[in-house]
Amino acid sequence: MAEFNPEKITFKVQRYNPENGGAPHLEKFTVPFNKGMTVLDGLLYIKENIDSTLSFRASCRMGICGSCGMLVNNYPHLACHTQIEEFHSDKLTVRPLPNLSIIKDLVVDLTPMFSSHKQIKPYLIRGEAGMEDPNAEFAQSPQELNTFLQFAYCIKCGICLAACPTSASDRLFLGPQAMAQCYRYCADSRDQGQKERLPLVDTDHGVWRCHLAGACSEACPKGLDPALAIQLLKRQLAAEALGLGKRRPPSPVVPPIKESKPKVPYPDFTVKKEK
Ligand code: SF4
Ligand code: FES
């Protein structure tokens, strides 16, 4: 493939300011191209050199904070994690994430995603006995950790929600992000909250509304498979309904480490005064 090294990139960016009225429209900006430039670098160039009123979210610039999700050439991406070169085109169209309402330009309102996330109780739930000592550590083997680890890498960017065709047609759908987190906590060997959480996804707008398009898993920039989590929740619910649900005992509390003498005595670094 020919080397991609254009002098300039034309950014067509969707602008929309509800305070000024008017409909969302595309505005053109020309940005000088440098090797290694990301879509976010291009937007920052526009903001710093051409139009300071352009609004978008970004913070970490390293695919961790989850704030720079947007539609680039009609596909959801993290702007900081996407090199312009990947598109092999000197024209980019940047729009806000779909399935969410626009606050301004590329900034969308993520409240629906966060409220669904909150609904599924994204924290460890333990019975009374497990909470006697709030500082206690619960034992977990590497195998137990691996049952949910990939889902713990979710950065809550909303890209799966933007890619999901069900979220596009059902505003009450819990969405792939929240349901993947529901599975993440239900599968955690330290948790005892399945009874509380499973009914929250066993609804018309929960797991049964997922058509298994798999768009969420394909688009997730962190390599999570939310579609798989939803299918695993369906399996769990079906097993419960048939009375085949397995109740595992929650991970025990790790006993406190006994003070022990170091095998090699610590050297004495005290500076001794000369007499
Ligand atoms: S599952 Fe992936 S795409 Fe969805 S919010 Fe988490 S990190 Fe983003
Ligand atoms: S700026 Fe943090 S994920 Fe892109």
How many other CB atoms are there within 10 angstroms of residue 168's CB atom?
Answer: 14
**Total domains in the fold of the chain:** 2
- Asked if 143 and 149 count as a contact pair (C-beta separation under 8 A), the reply is no
1-8's contacts with Cβ under 8 Å and 24+ in sequence apart are 1/88, 4/85, 4/88, 5/33, 5/35, 6/33, 6/90, 7/32, 7/33, 8/32, 8/33, 8/90
Judged by its nearest atom, the ligand closest to the C-alpha of residue 64 is: 2
pLDDT at 130: 65
Atom of ligand 2 nearest to the CA of 59: 1
To the nearest 10°, the Cα dihedral for 36, 39, 45, 46?
Answer: 150
Q: Which residue numbers in the chain have pLDDT < 70?
A: 1, 129-131, 275
In a domain? residue 225: yes
- Distance of CA 97 from the midpoint of ligand 1 (Å): 13
For atom 4 of ligand 1, the residue with the nearest CA is 160
Among 224, 225, 230, which is best to mutate for testing ligand 1, by the most ligand atoms less than 8 A from CB?
224
In a domain? residue 61: yes
Judged by its nearest atom, the ligand closest to the C-alpha of residue 217 is: 1
- Distance of CA 160 from the midpoint of ligand 1 (Å): 5
Domain end residue (candidates: 108, 141, 159) = 108
Provide the CATH number for the domain around residue 62: 3.10.20.30
- Nearest by Cα to 97 from 42, 148, 143, 157: 157
Judged by its nearest atom, the ligand closest to the C-alpha of residue 56 is: 2
Q: Is 222 in the pocket of ligand 1 (CB under 6 A)?
A: yes
Domain with 27 in it: 8-108
Q: What is the pTM of this model?
A: 0.89
Judged by its nearest atom, the ligand closest to the C-alpha of residue 65 is: 2
Beta bridge partners of 22: none
- Pocket around ligand 2 at a 6 A CB cut-off: 58-61, 63-68, 78, 80
Cα–Cα–Cα angle for 199, 196, 165, nearest 5°? 45
- List the alpha helices (DSSP H) in the chain: 39-45, 111-119, 142-146, 159-163, 165-169, 176-186, 194-201, 215-219, 226-241
Atom of ligand 1 nearest to the CA of 219: 3
Interatomic CA distance for residues 273 and 275, integer angstroms: 6
How many other CB atoms are there within 10 angstroms of residue 93's CB atom?
Answer: 15
- Distance of CA 177 from the midpoint of ligand 1 (Å): 6
For atom 8 of ligand 1, the residue with the nearest CA is 157
Q: Do both 138 and 173 map to the same domain?
A: yes
Atom of ligand 2 nearest to the CA of 155: 3
pLDDT at 268: 81
Q: Tens digit of pLDDT for each residue in 61-111?
A: 999 999 999 999 999 999 999 999 999 999 999 999 999 999 999 999 999
Instruction: Take residue 20 and report the two structure tokens written for it.
Output: 């000024």
Q: Do both 97 and 139 map to the same domain?
A: no
Q: Do both 119 and 232 map to the same domain?
A: yes
pLDDT at 2: 77
Interatomic CA distance for residues 44 and 87, integer angstroms: 19
Q: Do both 93 and 121 map to the same domain?
A: no
In this structure, what DSSP letter does residue 253 have?
A: B
Q: Do both 85 and 121 map to the same domain?
A: no
- Distance of CA 95 from the midpoint of ligand 2 (Å): 16
Burial class (CB in 10 A: 0-12, 13-18, 19+), 27: middle
Q: Do both 170 and 154 map to the same domain?
A: yes
Q: Do both 191 and 220 map to the same domain?
A: yes
For atom 2 of ligand 1, the residue with the nearest CA is 220
Inter-CA distances, 64 with 61, 68, 80, Å: 8, 10, 10
For atom 3 of ligand 2, the residue with the nearest CA is 63
Q: Is 178 in the pocket of ligand 1 (CB under 6 A)?
A: no
- Asked if 176 and 230 count as a contact pair (C-beta separation under 8 A), the reply is yes
Percentages helix, strand, coil for the chain (3-state, rounded to 5) are 35, 15, 50
In a domain? residue 81: yes
Q: Is 220 in the pocket of ligand 1 (CB under 6 A)?
A: yes
Provide the CATH number for the domain around residue 205: 1.10.1060.10
